Amino acid sequence: MMLASTELFNEIDDLEKQVFDSVAVIGATGSVGTIILQLLEQRNFQAKTFRFLASARSAGKKIVFQGKEVVVEELTKDSFTGVDLVIASTPDETAAEFLPYAVEAGAKIIDESGYWRMNDDVALVIPEINPQDALNAKGIIASPNCSTTQMVMAMKPLHDISPIRRVIVSTYQATSGAGVQGDEDLVQGSKARLENREYEYKVFQHPIAFNAIPQIGSEKHEGYTSEEMKMVYETRKILGDDSIQINPTCVRIPVWNCHSESITVETESPISPEQAREAFAAFPGIQVMDNLNESVYPMPSNCDGLNDVFVGRIRKDISHPNGLSFWCVSDNLRKGAATNAVQIAELLSENHAVASNL
Ligand SMILES: NC(=O)c1ccc[n+]([C@@H]2O[C@H](COP(=O)([O-])OP(=O)(O)OC[C@H]3O[C@@H](n4cnc5c(N)ncnc54)[C@H](OP(=O)(O)O)[C@@H]3O)[C@@H](O)[C@H]2O)c1
């Protein structure tokens, strides 16, 4: 029997909580994986055993988790025997190659990579928006791209007041979005530039130090990049509305962590800034920081390390009667990745508890 998510949360309190037997965190040594481990620990996620996996490069490394040392294992196709929940944050090609073995082994899978998101059999989930899709999913549940998640979180309360017909969004994306090596490029590239030395960038097409690069990914569709088209396709899938028109420009900037977005939405009927402020404030996982006269708005410097999505600079679009503009910042490693995945894991765990007691 499948329960609506609110019924589910109420029932859980009355039941003896069951836990997953074995949880495997894949990509545990990466930027996202490291935060996933922190969150599982801080939020006291229950499982009988945790296994941490990564590439052969990391096999044998030790990670202290819940007071115990866990040795990192190399991921192989046989890694999933006895595992009932997988949380994976690896490059696309690793997810493509290995996750089918996890499906075959009968595990539930939460995947951070971009590889499976648009597959018809895969749920693409933000727990505040479409939790039921996670509960109905059979194998892989994908977590959206980081720039998509914060935008869709901010769109949803507005879309519920009056359907959004069109979005124009420009992103200002942090280097941590490109993983451990992205951070390294920012730090080493900046040092080299200040010391007037050459540095060979590993992940960016151009020097990221003291620069802005208007390309994230490769060309995907009519001059738009793969990162930009993710924002289009994934948003439509999560909101279940293929008619929403989205025009994104994604830019990498020399900020360590937290993506910022300038967003303008056009709705079927006008939404006033006051209505929008109220709807944002009432939505779970969104916080409003909005007082221009006092210079209060979200920035990477005041959102780093926080799990929510932050909005500010909420104002009427002076160029269109049904337009609304705002600024949105979120920690890409958290709500853009690890926090969203752990929230999905919590949802599955609670459902697992209910199912085990029926
Ligand atoms: N960074 C973000 O803001 C963000 C947001 C949303 C989604 N994502 C997605 O999340 C995924 C991980 O991103 P990240 O930023 O954490 O990258 P990362 O820092 O480069 O970490 C990649 C992880 O994958 C592991 N890995 C690489 N190749 C592997 C293989 N053949 N077998 C097993 N493990 C392998 C690495 O292990 P080793 O340490 O052994 O190399 C590492 O643990 C990517 O698909 C990314 O697109 C990232």
Determine the residue of 90, 110, 257, 343 to mutate for testing ligand 1's pocket, defined as the one with the most ligand atoms within 8 A of the Cβ atom.
90
Pocket test for ligand 1, best of 87, 89, 146 (most atoms within 8 A of CB): 89
Name all domains of the chain by residue range, CATH numbers in brackets: 5-144+337-357 (3.40.50.720), 147-331 (3.30.360.10)
Q: How far does the centroid of ligand 1 lie from the alpha carbon of residue 306, in Å?
A: 21
pLDDT value for 357: 59
pLDDT of residue 3: 37
CA distances from 148 to 40, 72, 106, 169, 237 (A): 23, 31, 29, 10, 11
pLDDT at 10: 39
> Which atom of ligand 1 is nearest to 30's Cα?
21
11: Cβ contacts below 8 Å, ≥ 6 apart: 3, 354
pLDDT by residue for the chain (358 residues), tens only, comes to 333 333 433 343 434 345 799 999 999 999 999 999 999 999 999 999 999 999 999 999 999 999 999 999 999 999 999 999 999 999 999 999 999 999 999 999 999 999 999 999 999 999 999 999 999 998 999 999 999 999 999 999 999 999 999 999 999 999 999 999 999 999 999 999 999 999 999 999 999 999 999 999 999 999 999 999 999 999 999 999 999 999 999 999 999 999 999 999 999 999 999 999 999 999 999 999 999 999 999 999 999 999 999 999 999 999 999 999 999 999 999 999 999 999 999 999 988 766 665 5
Atom 45 (ligand 1) nearest CA: 113
Question: pLDDT tens, 38-52?
Answer: 999 999 999 999 999
For residue 273, how far is its CA from the centre of ligand 1 (angstroms)? Answer: 39
Residue 182 Cα to ligand 1 midpoint, Å, equals 11
Catalytic residues: 146, 259
Tell which atom from ligand 1 comes closest to the C-alpha of 59: 40
Ligand 1: atom nearest CA of 26 is 34
Q: Would the CB of 31 count as within 6 Å of ligand 1?
A: yes
- 297-349 pLDDT, tens digit each: 999 999 999 999 999 999 999 999 999 999 999 999 999 999 999 999 999 99
Q: From CA 311, how far away is CA 329, in angstroms rounded?
A: 6
Q: Verify whether ligand 1 is closer than 6 Å to residue 32 (CB atom).
A: yes
